[in-house]
């Protein structure tokens, strides 16, 4: 019952920044969901980038710590990912995920269509 739409992707040079947004809609109480950003690069499996629980607890993949920040604005039904100091290896399709709680498997949650991030000189 949750629809997710990602936006904000694009082409940036190494060292640049992007801010991704995920807008949620549908018959759901957004503030109760654990939200996350995941990415999938060509030839690789989908992997966690960052997640945030309903009470604001965050979790980051080691390769983005200190560079990326996840946040949510429950009143606006959005979750964002601020990406700084981007590297070519960050190139991937970034997906937004919603699940009813942190104990629910990510695969059992809802997914957006993804937004392309390309980091290249």
When the pLDDT of each residue in the chain is averaged and rounded to a whole number, the result is: 95
Write the pLDDT tens digit of every residue in 7-19. Answer: 999 999 999 999 9
CA dihedral 42, 103, 22, 94 (to 10 degrees): -10
3-state secondary structure of 12: strand
In the structure, what pLDDT confidence band is assigned to residue 27 with cuts at 50, 70 and 90?
confident
What pLDDT band is residue 26 in, cutting at 50, 70 and 90? confident
pLDDT band per the 50, 70, 90 thresholds, residue 43: very high
pLDDT of residue 28: 78
- Helix (H/G/I), strand (E/B), else coil: 88: helix
* Angle, alpha carbons 10-81-112 (nearest 5°): 75
* Average pLDDT, integer, range 42-50: 96
115 Cβ neighbours under 8 A, 6+ residues apart: 6, 7, 8, 9, 20, 93, 94
Ranking 23-27, 70-74, 106-110 by mean pLDDT, the lowest is: 23-27
Digit-coded pLDDT (tens) for 108-119 = 999 999 999 999
pLDDT of 105 over the 80 cut? yes
- Work out the average pLDDT over 73-93: 96
Q: What is the DSSP letter of 46?
A: -
Mean pLDDT, residues 76-105 taken together: 96
């Amino acid at each position: 019952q949750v629809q997710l739409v990602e936006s904000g992707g694009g082409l940036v040079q190494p060292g640049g920044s992007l801010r991704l947004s995920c807008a949620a809609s549908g018959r759901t109480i957004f503030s109760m969901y654990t939200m996350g950003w995941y990415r999938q690069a060509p030839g690789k499996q989908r992997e966690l980038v960052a997640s945030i629980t309903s009470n604001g607890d965050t979790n980051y993949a080691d390769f983005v710590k200190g560079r990326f920040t996840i946040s949510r604005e429950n009143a606006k039904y959005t979750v964002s990912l601020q990406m700084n100091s981007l590297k070519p290896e960050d190139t991937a399709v970034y997906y937004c995920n919603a699940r009813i709680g942190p104990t629910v498997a990510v695969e059992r949650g809802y997914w957006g269509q993804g937004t392309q991030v390309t980091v290249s000189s």
